[in-house]
Chain A
Amino acid sequence: MEKCALPLPPGFSSPNFDSACKELRRVVGDDHLVISGDRLAGYFDPYSPGLADAYAPSGAVLPASVDEVRGVLGVANNYRLPLWTVSLGRNYAYGGAAPCLKGSMVLDLSRMRAIEVNAELAYALVEPGVTYLDLYKFIRDKTYPLWIDCPDPGWGSVLGNTLEHGIGYTPYGDHAGHQCGMEVVLADGEIVRTGPGAMTGNPAWPLYKYAFGPTLDGLFMQSNFGVVTKIGIWLMPEPETFSVMEMMFRREEDIVPMIDALRVLRLDGIVPTATIANWMRIAAGNTTRAEWYDGKGPLPQSAIDRLTKEMGIGYWGMRFGLYGREKILAEQRKAVEGAFSHIEGMGLAVATYRRGEAIPPEHATLAGIPSVDLMPLNWLGGAGAHIECPLVVPMQGAEFLDLYRRRTELFNAAGFDHYCGLTSTTPRVFINTGSIIFDRNDAEQCARARSLGKALIEDAHKRRLAGYRAHISEMDLVASQFDFNDHAAMRTYERLKDALDPGGVLSPGKQGIWPKALRQARGEGGETP
């Protein structure tokens, strides 16, 4: 991580900042306001491609309760202190805990760690500091017959990942889609519960997603309109049988029939979710680049051929789980085999586990068992990092192959190998991840990574495709691409922002949404208005 001096919040003098900090200490206690020392390192972007200084926070404040959140918001509004809300700040490929606006105070909710699980109705209520590891352990310790769904790695916040539209690998992999019930503290300190939760004591709060009237939950996802302090999430009943189907396909162009066959299986519900990886994603999960090639630039085709041959992998791999009763799964497995059997050279492996059987680490995430490993970041050696520019792409084979080849060109032109993944948690689209893996201690690689990220986003826009998430340094760019009717969506977001957060203290710049006082500077590309 780059070292840099801490900035003051925009417009603050040192005495003014000291005064705000004194008031924040009164709310959270001395130990829970961090403006110096080693603990601050955790609020910088650890994977920053050379931009850590431009996104440095002024400090962090850690409330432990909804009341303390309200107290912090009161101080922030009095001083016009910009806050940057994080649950745990482990959204590393997108900026970690670092704010969009330099000098913001990080509002770190990691001390709020309450978990409540209802085993009969299969849901959990969690606060922001609860990790997937925590929730998994809680359910396992209570021996509830329930599975969670977790992203990979699984050390992040359940609430934070859900609000960011994170994804996992079981039928509950669309995390926002399985969220139900939300508690939000608005900028003025008002506490709102969504859906049936708007009625005190209504038991359907974590059970029914809608409301009597507008459904508010989506307004608080990937947004800066409030501070979400609790969500409900649905849990999956432990299936009687769980099958893992893993397939390999030999040629780059096999992606066309793969996707077209998968689409049919996804739409008719036979396959509940799926992940596809190209050769590099498979290789980087198990080996490092120097084991295959140590020249400059991307791996030559001869090295890719040797790699796939020696590792016994295809150009593409695909895997997914099937979940349910054995007789039904047997039919589903037959349908899957039939759907892909026409693709020459397809390899298939199936593993099946009955309820209660141990599931090995290689299949853990498909069973909602969280783990932490960042092996792909070691691909180039050095201090590995990555940034992501994931796209939402329709599930159409030929169109995707064209996109894939173009993105390979861009990766290779920047001197990187193309790391490509496709995850389908809803049946009509993929989230197309394309990790830009680089050595964060190498300034030249950082510069190339930044340029490539921008190029990928701009190239996608030419195809009218866009990111579903973005690194903090690219949020304005991605937001600007949603241009229908001269950016009517952004104007609507801004009207909501002005109404709900008139002081503009909540996460300025998040998803390209700036408060009124800072909009002009955003338009001019200013870093610290």
Chain B
Amino acid sequence: MTAAPATDRRDVIKLGGAAALALLVPDAVAAAVRASSLTPSAIVVADPRYRESLVFAGSLERQGAKVLTLASDRATTWFGAIAPHLPHCLRRLTGLTLESDLFILERLAESSGARTCYAGLHDWRCRSGVGHTLSGTIDLEGVADALLNGREEWVEGLGEALVAAKDGRPAALRLQLKCAAPSGRGPRSFVSWQMRWAV
């Protein structure tokens, strides 16, 4: 993963917050897997194995992004579904995925001039609470607000905040929320991320 910018670091510890996690909205899931036929300037990739990834993608789709489902072979996703949009108008690629998928896509995208402008590691299924570690060159305050104060569906709020985020100075934030462990099963951590191409 791209190195976190080292300047302007601060830690935000919020104790006692509640963070019941998202209940799935079936319509959102259905929307997430529907692909737009328009040539997109923004693409969001969704991992069909995880509800959180689909909800996140659905929240961006409602704001105009094209949703692509990750193939089991990530190279197929990149070369077959994302790269063909590059010569035209793709400017932003976003996702809530496992960390290895960001690692792969960053390397497949690097020769195209992509730069990861935001990455957030969400350690959301640990026993003692939820941790979010954010870094990037966008304004992270709005993203942090969405995670700290947002609705119970933090995944969806995160997507909306990322769309709204303006460019900012390199920064990093760490949020620790004391809350009950979420129910259900799933990976311990996700990463939310955004890559951009220069206009």
Contact = CB atoms under 8 A, between A and B. Distances in A.
B72 A373 contact: yes
B73 A371 contact: yes
B36 interface: no
B1 A1 contact: yes
29 contacts: A1-B3, A2-B3, A39-B110, A155-B75, A155-B104, A289-B188, A290-B186, A290-B188, A294-B125, A294-B127, A361-B73, A364-B73, A370-B75, A371-B72, A372-B104, A373-B74, A373-B100, A374-B100, A374-B103, A378-B98, A378-B100, A378-B187, A378-B189, A381-B99, A381-B188, A381-B189, A382-B121, A383-B121, A384-B100
Interface string A192-227: 000000000000000000000000000000000000
A380 B99 CA distance: 11
Nearest to B71: A361
Nearest to B102: A383
Contacts of B76: 371
B164 interface: no
Interface of A: 1-3, 38-39, 41-42, 46, 90, 133, 153-155, 288-291, 294, 361-362, 364, 370-375, 377-378, 380-384, 441
B188 A155 contact: no
Interface in B93-123: 98-101, 103-104, 107-108, 110, 115, 121, 123
A380 B107 CA distance: 22
Contacts of A289: 188
B39 interface: no
A347 to B, nearest CB: 23
B3 A41 contact: yes
Interface residues on chain B, size class:
20 to 34
A284 to B, nearest CB: 11
User: Which one of A3, A38, A372 has the greatest number of beta carbons of chain B within 10 Å?
Assistant: A372
Is the contact region of chain A dominated by helix, strand, or loop, or is it mixed?
A: loop
A104 to B, nearest CB: 20
B12 to A, nearest CB: 18
8 smallest beta-carbon distances between A and B, as pairs? A290-B188, A371-B73, A381-B188, A381-B189, A374-B100, A288-B187, A372-B75, A361-B72
B6 interface: yes
Contacts of B3: 1-3, 41
Nearest to B184: A291
B99 A378 contact: yes
Contacts of A382: 99, 121, 123, 189
B126 interface: yes
Nearest to B72: A361
Contacts of B1: 1, 46, 383
Contacts of A90: 107
B137 to A, nearest CB: 11
B73 A381 contact: no
B75 A294 contact: no
B188 A373 contact: no
A384 B71 CA distance: 20
A1 B125 CA distance: 24
A380 B186 CA distance: 12
User: Which one of B71, B110, B125, B189 has the greatest number of beta carbons of chain A within 10 Å?
Assistant: B189
A38 B110 CA distance: 10
Contact of B75 (A2, A133, A380, A383): A133
Contacts of A373: 72-74, 100, 104
Contacts of B108: 155, 372
A380 B125 CA distance: 12
A289 B126 CA distance: 11
